[in-house]
Amino acid sequence: MTRLVRKAALLGACGLFIASVAGAAVPDPAHSTVPAYIFSGGVKTSTDPTPDPGIAITIVVRDFLNNPIVGSNVELNYSQCADTKICTAVVAGTTVDPVSHTIRLQTGAGGIASMTVMGASINVAPPAANVGGAGAGCIKVYADGIQLAASTSVDLDQNGAAASGASPGVNGADVSFVFLDIGRAGTDLIYRGRADYSKDGVVNGADAAFYYPHLSRASANQGSLGGCRGAGGVVAPYWP
């Protein structure tokens, strides 16, 4: 009888070990790393289609044992971000789906997935249907179908996706829209994540100060001056 009990205990322990190994490759939100604010921008210039390195993000996918998961399928879902439109230009290592409003990529060594989100806002002067913009946490971030986090979408190019047949990129014209959002927040108390450059959950005058370094990088051909462009600097459309 004692031998049977020992055997059952041994089998149970083996079962638990196998279950733990099988579950080890399952992404765990508590151990994974996702930025709370994800900035969108563009390429450096019309002749240098290098995505803005200053706003690159890094997502690290780990299991419940804190082990990195290589080859995990990461998805950024923008379907709830009413005013952020993603650039459809092909960026190495990523897949943009205009229908599902998602960006997909895989983790590499260390469970790391890195990229620059190419996108812009459709911010326009009032009255407009999108005055409110997207609030906090509109980007749903998944790994292998498991939601890791909800991140806020912040857009450097405030009016780029509202332009017709052009890709203006980040320039002085965007400053007026930044101040427009700051003024709106002060009167209607609506949080517009697209202008939260200070990443503190509040849109106010401080965000203008955080915006100017991005504008300076763009002016120096090191930021998002080129807007939405693909190989060869060819202008690409934003998703609808």
Q: Domain limits of the chain?
A: 25-233
Q: What spatial distance separates the first Cα and last Cα of the chain, rounded to whole Å?
A: 70
Query: Where does the pLDDT of residue 16 fall: very low under 50, low under 70, confident under 90, or very high at 90 and above?
Result: very low
Q: Give the per-residue pLDDT at 238.
A: 93
Give CA–CA dist 105/69, Å, rounded.
Answer: 13
Are the CB atoms for 169 and 226 separated by under 8 Å? yes
As beta bridge partners, residue 177 has: none
Q: How many Å is the maximal CA-CA distance in the chain?
A: 83
> Could you tell me which of 126, 119, 121 has the C-alpha nearest to residue 180?
126
More confident residue, 206 or 3: 206
User: Mean pLDDT over all residues of the chain?
Assistant: 89
Give CA–CA dist 162/167, Å, rounded.
Answer: 9
Tens digits of residue pLDDT in 31-66: 999 999 999 999 999 999 999 999 999 999 999 999
Q: For residue 224, is pLDDT > 90? A: yes
Q: For residue 79, is pLDDT > 60? A: yes
- Per-residue pLDDT, averaged over 185-203, amounts to 93
* DSSP, res 64: T
- Per-residue pLDDT, averaged over 186-211, amounts to 95
